[in-house]
């Protein structure tokens, strides 16, 4: 089996897994993998991730032109912008996962840190997540919003739409997307309950110990707390 054939099978396998576990519904969501020649393989438009055909995946050249397969997802601008600004990105997953979408709709979300550091695995697999404003699905302007982040994030929440996550491999991108969704679920479960979050020192320790991007710790607020986290003085 050629490398491209293996990657096509991988997209279909992970797509089915995401669909069957309810992380994206209907024909929503899309996946892409960057190839060594600079081109990509992407999922087609209006096709369920649960029923992908390896032979019909969209093959694009380095300029994003369709070479073979079905018409690609209309969300290509999202993928293009992340690949352009993250040279280390080998794959991208975009879903409409319920809890991540719900968090993107809350009024008190920090655009620079859409989710607080609630668990070690969120910090390790995702790092930080940016929130960008709402754009119509497929609107090329969303690519400009992602480019405006200047490659500082591998994880982006599109307001009222869903997460877009890049990583070195498709497996890593899927795992990061799942961790993002679980953290969003925790955020909603604990909303208004003043949860204990990881401290900045604890985040720095994870960055040092696991060799993570230093920017994760450097750009974290001095107090890694929920916007409504207040200290309680004894009376």
Separation between Cα atoms, residue 101 and residue 92, nearest integer Å: 17
Determine which one of 83, 121, 122, 175 is catalytic.
121
- Interatomic CA distance for residues 40 and 193, integer angstroms: 44
* E strands present in the chain: 30-34, 40-42, 58-60, 66-68, 91-94, 129-132, 155-158, 162-167
Asked about 121 being catalytic, the answer comes back as yes
Strands 58-60, 66-68: pairing kind: antiparallel
| Helix 3-20, helix 170-189: angle, nearest 10 | 20
Chain-centre distance for alpha carbon 83: 13
What lies within 8 Å, CB to CB, of 233 at 6+ separation is: none
Q: Where are the alpha helices (DSSP H) in 86-210?
A: 98-104, 120-125, 141-147, 170-189, 200-210
Active site residues: 121
């Amino acid at each position: 089996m050629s490398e491209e054939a293996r990657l096509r099978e991988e997209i279909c396998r992970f797509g089915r897994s995401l669909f069957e576990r309810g992380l994206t519904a209907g024909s929503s969501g899309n996946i892409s993998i960057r190839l060594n020649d600079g081109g990509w393989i992407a999922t087609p438009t209006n096709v369920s991730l649960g029923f992908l055909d390896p032979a019909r995946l969209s093959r694009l050249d380095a300029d994003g032109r369709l070479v073979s397969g079905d018409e690609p997802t209309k969300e290509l601008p999202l993928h293009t912008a992340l690949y352009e600004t993250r040279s280390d990105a080998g794959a991208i997953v975009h879903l409409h996962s319920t809890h991540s979408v719900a968090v993107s709709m809350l009024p008190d979300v920090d655009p620079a840190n859409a989710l607080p550091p609630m668990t070690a695995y969120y910090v390790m697999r995702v790092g930080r997540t940016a929130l960008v404003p709402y754009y119509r699905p497929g609107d090329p302007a969303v690519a400009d919003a992602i480019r405006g982040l200047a490659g500082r994030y591998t994880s982006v929440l599109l307001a009222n739409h869903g997460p877009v996550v890049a990583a070195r491999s498709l497996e890593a991108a899927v795992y990061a997307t799942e961790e993002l969704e679980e953290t969003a679920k925790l955020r909603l479960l604990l909303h208004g309950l003043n949860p204990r979050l990881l401290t900045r020192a604890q985040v720095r320790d994870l960055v040092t110990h696991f060799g993570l991007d230093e920017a994760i710790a450097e750009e974290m607020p001095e107090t890694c707390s929920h916007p409504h986290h207040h200290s309680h003085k004894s009376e």
